[in-house]
Amino acid sequence: MMQPRQLRYDDVIIDIINDDYTILPLLSRFSIPLGLGNETLNDVCRRNDIDVKALLLVLNYIRTGIIDSSYISVVSPLEVVRFLKNSHDYFINYKFGHIRKNLIAALDLETNPTNNLILKFFDSFVKKVEDHFRYEENTVFPYVESLVDGKKSAYTIEIFERHHEEVVDALAELKNIILRYYRTTAPNLMYDVLVDIYNCEEDLASHSDIENNLLIPMVYDLERKSKK
């Protein structure tokens, strides 16, 4: 499979989406509205007051796995924090509820001894992710914002890095339970739920990668500069 190319300022955004529709959730988290016409990335960002360098940094990293050093050195960590906050809102206020609703609908189609276990497992997973996000919202992101403002703090990004646990492992266990033990004569809806779970797992993994490989290095660099 060919490596996706690096996106540029002058790429027409509709062409990018047609080439790789999986970037749609990323665009939504940069608060890019629909009604894109034939605008380029730069056009859309300028019209919506979005840092195009931050957008390209995130999109190209997720698409190619390559961090553009020319962008990461000039993009403010606050742009990445804004993106991550929007991601939290997407998961908590939309995606998890959407999956749970469809999961209940699938489970209601047929009595199965694993039904309660599956729903409890999913709810436990959501609670774990909510706690994880809450820590970031209440501790990590305010620290980054205060650091950008030049304020001193006993907290460091190393504390976050040491305790930054992955939250997607529980989804792998949930998929395993459904695939191995859930029995039904009407599987179509549950197959749809599984597709949603797989997509959510990939999305959360990308979210974590952005924190680990973009935000944390950016904040380390900011901490070093603040000590000079």
DSSP character string of 153-210: -S--HHHHHHT---SSHHHHHHHHHHHHH---S--HHHHHHHHHHHHHHHHHHHHHHH
List of residues 6+ apart from 13 with CB closer than 8 A: 27, 32, 36, 39, 40, 41, 44
- C-alpha span between 82 and 218 (Å, rounded): 14
The pLDDT tens digits for 148-201 are 999 988 999 999 998 877 788 888 889 999 999 898 888 999 999 999 999 999
pLDDT for 125: 94
Helix (H, G, I), strand (E, B) or coil at 12: strand
Q: How far from the centroid of its chain's Cα atoms is residue 52's Cα?
A: 18
Pick the more confident residue, 169 or 119: 119
**Percentage of residues in the chain with pLDDT exceeding 90?**
80
pTM over 0.85: yes
pLDDT of amino acid 35: 93
Q: What average pLDDT does the chain have?
A: 92
pLDDT attached to residue 100: 97
Distance CA 38, CA 116 (A): 49
Q: What percent of the chain is modeled with pLDDT above 70?
A: 99
List, for residues 76-90, the tens digit of each pLDDT value. 999 999 999 999 999
Structure token digits, residue 35: 């009604």
The pLDDT, as a whole number, for residue 2 is 66
Q: Is the pLDDT of residue 228 over 70?
A: no
Angle at 182 between CA 101 and CA 98, to 5 degrees: 15
**Rounded distance, CA 224 to CA 203, Å?**
31
- Condensed to tens digits (0 to 9), the pLDDT of residues 19-56 reads 999 999 999 999 999 999 999 999 999 999 999 999 99
Helices 77-90 and 188-210, packing angle to 10 deg? 160
